[in-house]
Structure 1
Amino acid sequence: MSALAPASLAADGQAQVTNWPGYIGWTVGLVIVIALVYWLMRQGWNWRRTLQSDLPALPEVPADPGPVTRTAAGRYHGTTTAGNWLDRVVAHDLGTRSLADLTLTERGLLARRPGTADLWIPVEALAGARQDSGIAGKVVPSGLLVVGWRLGSTGLESGFRLDRPDQHAAWIAAILELSTRTQQTEGTAS
């Protein structure tokens, strides 16, 4: 009788381990939940884009952006409304993260973004720059270069992380100097 006991335990254990209909049911259920969450996130992104559809079109990149002041490579992390670092702007592909080649010229800031539209911020639209630790969905303890600018009547802030973060301070100084000089020139012309 003792020889039969281990065989029946193995059979019982085997039946519990190979409950394929249960495993398949749980797997299908999990896939459905993941698909539903993804669909809801996509709907939220599209709803945000609809709410921001009143933003004017981005300025066109000029054929000649002007004399180059500085260049750097890095990443574009997104744009938010000014003063609200969690309110991501997704209209006009401003919510799409990408690599970026930044070029500061006498006429503005150009961010060449492979895979999406380039971002041109004319010098008249620049509203300043600073180093901050985060912007909508990206927090970096060593900091991001945050550029303030205006699109129509809306204040925006775009976050960049240069490949060499030690250059952030020099970029901030250059952008502030350029925007201050432009504001003084416009004030004198008025």
Structure 2
Amino acid sequence: MTKEVMAVYAAILFAAIVAMAVTGWRRRISSQVAKFSQPLEALEYFGELIASANGFYVATTEAANHLERIAAYGLGIRGEAQILVFNEGLLIVRKGERPLALDRAQIDSVSTNQAVIDRVVEADGLITVNWTQDTHKLSTHLRAVDSTGRAALLEAISKITTREASK
């Protein structure tokens, strides 16, 4: 009888912890939805394809705090992605999730990084794209599969960001 009672208590405790985690995640999404509108899923005008690479969408975070994951609008889910840089912006086609499109006017800067939230890679292994959505500063972190693709993406994103700043 004691083992059965302990098993029931453990199951109830586990269910309570899962319910608190789900409630916290939903509360986080609600507060983030109130801060900014849904990002684009496609660019209005793509222009010429400058660079593309297969890789991973790692996370979108607050620009000032790379430990604060953005969960709203499906941005909290990590996964495989195809990263496309066009004259008019950046398109991240994520496997199993909504695409994320950043118009070049939204992109503030691009840099490399080694760590974000729960992901640590080799030095300069992550591409960090800093952008603005409704005056809210965000950073999207990407990982290209190979170093050649990473270099091409960095150069292309820098090019469209620089071109926008020079207008």
Q: Is 1:160 the counterpart of 2:131 in the alignment?
A: no
The answer for unaligned runs of 5 or more in structure 2 is: none
Whether the 8 Å CA contact 1:52–1:89 is kept in 2: the answer is yes
| 1:41 equivalent in structure 2 | 21
| 1:70 equivalent in structure 2 | 51
How far apart are residue 50 of structure 1 and its match? 1.4
One-letter identity of the residue aligned with 1:117: R
Higher fraction of strand: 2
One-letter identity of the residue aligned with 2:61: T
The answer for unaligned runs of 5 or more in structure 1 is: 1-20, 186-190
Alignment of 1:70-109 (within 5 A): 70-109=51-90
Quote the RMSD (CA, aligned, Å). Answer: 1.8
Cα displacement string for residues 86-128 of structure 1 (whole angstroms, at most 9, x for unaligned residues): 1111111111212111000001000011221110000111111
Aligned residue for 1:124, secondary structure, equals: coil
Alignment of 1:24-39 (within 5 A): 24-39=4-19
Higher fraction of helix: 1
Whether the 8 Å CA contact 2:58–2:142 is kept in 1: the answer is yes
| 1:171 equivalent in structure 2 | 153
Assess, with a 3 A threshold, how the Cα gap between structure 1 residues 79 and 63 changes in structure 2: closer, same or farther: same
User: Taking every aligned residue pair, what percent have the same amino acid on both sides?
Assistant: 26
How far apart are residue 23 of structure 1 and its match? 3.1
| 2:92 equivalent in structure 1 | 111
Larger radius of gyration: 1
**Distance in 2 between the 1:47 and 1:138 partners?**
24
Task: Report how many aligned residue pairs link the two structures.
Answer: 165
Moved more, 174-183 or 139-148: 139-148
Assess, with a 3 A threshold, how the Cα gap between structure 1 residues 181 and 62 changes in structure 2: closer, same or farther: closer
Larger RCO (alpha carbons 8 Å, 6+ apart): 2
Aligned residue for 1:25, secondary structure, equals: helix
One-letter identity of the residue aligned with 2:15: A
